[in-house]
């Protein structure tokens, strides 16, 4: 397998920055103004351990999930406003109503 930096000469950070810039341009083109602060990181991921004091509480996690859903809705609205239909769902899991 050939990793993208071998053929594009870009790091993972470069790809993330390009993706963020693309989304911002699409939102701006469609006139969608996010009603939230944009936080691009940097992020460092690690597994939690029992007794970790810096693990967010359930309400904080649920708020983060809600925030991601708002971002996704804004992005989809911008795609529709720009005349670009959102791509079909290519998720490995089916989204079903509960």
Convert the pLDDT of each residue in 24-37 to its tens digit.
Answer: 888 888 887 766 66
Cβ contact 74:27 at 8 Å: yes
**CA–centroid distance for 18 within its chain:** 13
Half-sphere exposure of 55 toward its Cβ, with a 13 Å CA cutoff?
A: 8
pLDDT tens column, 5-55: 667 778 878 888 888 888 888 888 888 776 666 665 666 777 888 788 888
Sorted by where each begins, the domain ranges of the chain are: 12-33+57-74
CA proximity to 33, closest of 82, 77, 64 = 77
């Amino acid at each position: 397998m050939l990793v993208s930096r071998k053929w594009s000469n870009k790091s993972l950070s470069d790809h993330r920055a390009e993706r963020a810039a693309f989304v911002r341009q699409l939102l701006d083109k469609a006139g969608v103004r996010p009603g939230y602060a944009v936080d691009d990181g940097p992020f460092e991921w690690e597994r939690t351990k029992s007794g970790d004091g810096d693990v967010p509480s359930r309400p904080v996690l649920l708020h983060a999930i809600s925030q991601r859903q708002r971002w996704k809705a804004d992005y989809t609205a911008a795609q529709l406003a720009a005349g670009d239909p959102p791509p079909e769902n290519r998720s490995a899991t089916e989204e079903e109503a509960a």
